[in-house]
Amino acid sequence: MEDISLQSRIDVLSEQQVLIQDSAVAFIGEDEELKKARASRFVQPGFDQNTWQEMAELGWLGFLIPEQFGGIGLGFDDLHTVLIQLGKGLVPAPFVATAVIAATVLVNGDNEAVKKDRLPALVAGEWKPALAWQEARGSMSVKAEQVSVVDGKLSGKKIFVPDAGGADDFIVSAASAEGTELYLVNKDATGLSIDYEQRVDGGFYGQLSFDQVAVGDKVASVALAEQILAAALDTGRVAASAELLGVMTRALEITVDYTTQRVQFDKPIGSFQALQHKMVDLFILSEISRSVVLQTIGLFDGEVSAEGRAVAASQVKARCSDAALQITKSAIQLHGGIGYTDEANIGLYFKKAMYLASWLGNAAAHRARYAELTL
């Protein structure tokens, strides 16, 4: 499908970015009809294990992991080209949750033995951690309160753990007497029970209930845990925004293509000004989003304070969440009746946007955080 973004008109990519983008375009090209995305919907673990393995073989799982731990240690500058394609191809894999957020937590932790032991396995696709940090709906607080750790045993409940069904271990934030700490907990640990919530996109969130569960290795101590969590989640918000950008861009491409083909009143419906102006507005939204994504990844690859990162992450997540919902829901309207059927692929984009827009703080929540930090 033709790329209608302004990338080729106004942006300049490095040679390396072009190579990485090309391989990502080829990767999603293999499932252009979205058969894998469809097949993994509504069945555990909610994503495609083979796809995960293929991503490992391409080296993508080690994007943000330093070379000493088996990764390739690149920045957002290169990674975002992959994230956009993952969104365009609706690739059924918990890339942001695991290879971005969980990986970033581990890399920044203060247990060197855990890094040496686990990170190479993550990069190889042999081991999948999932981060269990959230304790309340709509919360962005990284201070653990509900889940506590006493004498090495965890109690309490974590919610909205993405793709928990495919994880081998969880990284759990817990309140000790001193403050928040991060621990690894095995998925099969005694006393841990998992309830699953079906997401609209076909994946699952896990709710983890801990009843005197023995902790595994410590990932981060009190001195670091909250700041590591905050940084990893903001990194994840930027990554999810890049994926949303891919989702909205492809949804618009599909819609432009459809309205160019679809004939009514003896003309392609895309020739009608009412529809053209609507699609132009969606296009503007997508390019405003792209501009903010590009600005934010530059900021995250450079030196910036924790507060600066939070402000920027909220700015980009607010924009991309809003724009992706606006574009995909309008795409349904522009398709007409066929857009409301499960067999048309446009609906898959709509539902992916619904998931990603609401995960890690929706647009309203991020505008509120932005206001709190800047007003």
Partner 1 sequence: MTNLQASNEYNAMEDDEFRAMVHDWYVENYPDELRFPPNRMHWDQVGDWYLTLAKKGWLTPAWPAEYGGMGLDANKLLIFMDVGETYGVGRTPDMGITMVGPLLIQHGSQEQKEHYLPKILAGENIWCQGYSEPGSGSDLASLQTSAVRDGDHYIVNGHKTWTTLAMDANMIFMLVRTNKDGKKQEGITFLLVPLDTPGITVRPIVNLGMHDEFAEVFFDDVKVPVASVVGGENNGWTIAKALLGHERIFIGSPKFAILAMSRLKSMAKSVGLFKDPLFVERYTRLQLDIEDLFAAYKRFVEVLKRGGNIGPEVSMLKVWNTETQQRVTELMMEAASEHGGIQDGIDTVDGVVRAAGEFIASRPTTIYGGSNEIQRNILAKAVLRLPS
Whole-angstrom Cα distance, residue 332 to residue 357?
17
Minimum distance between the CB of residue 334 and partner 1, rounded to whole angstroms? 12
CB 152 within 8 A of CB 214: yes
Closest to partner 1 by CB, 225 or 292 = 292
Closest to partner 1 by CB, 67 or 307 = 307
Across 85-120, b (16+ Cβ under 10 Å) vs e yields: bbbbbbbbbbbbbbbbbbbbbbbbbebeebbeebbb
Closest to partner 1 by CB, 32 or 281 = 281
Contacts of 39 (CB under 8 A, 6+ apart): 48
Minimum distance between the CB of residue 315 and partner 1, rounded to whole angstroms? 6
List, in sequence order, every residue forming a beta bridge with 267; answer none if it has no partner: 264
Minimum distance between the CB of residue 10 and partner 1, rounded to whole angstroms? 5
Closest to partner 1 by CB, 123 or 292 = 292
69: helix, coil or strand? helix
CB 80 within 8 A of CB 7: no
Question: Phi and psi dihedrals of 149, rounded to 5?
Answer: -125, 120
Minimum distance between the CB of residue 2 and partner 1, rounded to whole angstroms? 8
Whole-angstrom Cα distance, residue 370 to residue 310?
8
Whole-angstrom Cα distance, residue 79 to residue 205?
25
**Structure tokens, 149:** 């750790």
Closest to partner 1 by CB, 134 or 286 = 286
Minimum distance between the CB of residue 106 and partner 1, rounded to whole angstroms? 31
Closest to partner 1 by CB, 6 or 150 = 6
Residues that bind partner 1 (CB under 8 A): 4, 6, 9-12, 256, 259-260, 267-268, 270-271, 273, 276-277, 279-281, 283-284, 287-289, 291-292, 294-295, 315, 318-319, 364, 367-368, 370-371, 374-375
Minimum distance between the CB of residue 9 and partner 1, rounded to whole angstroms? 6
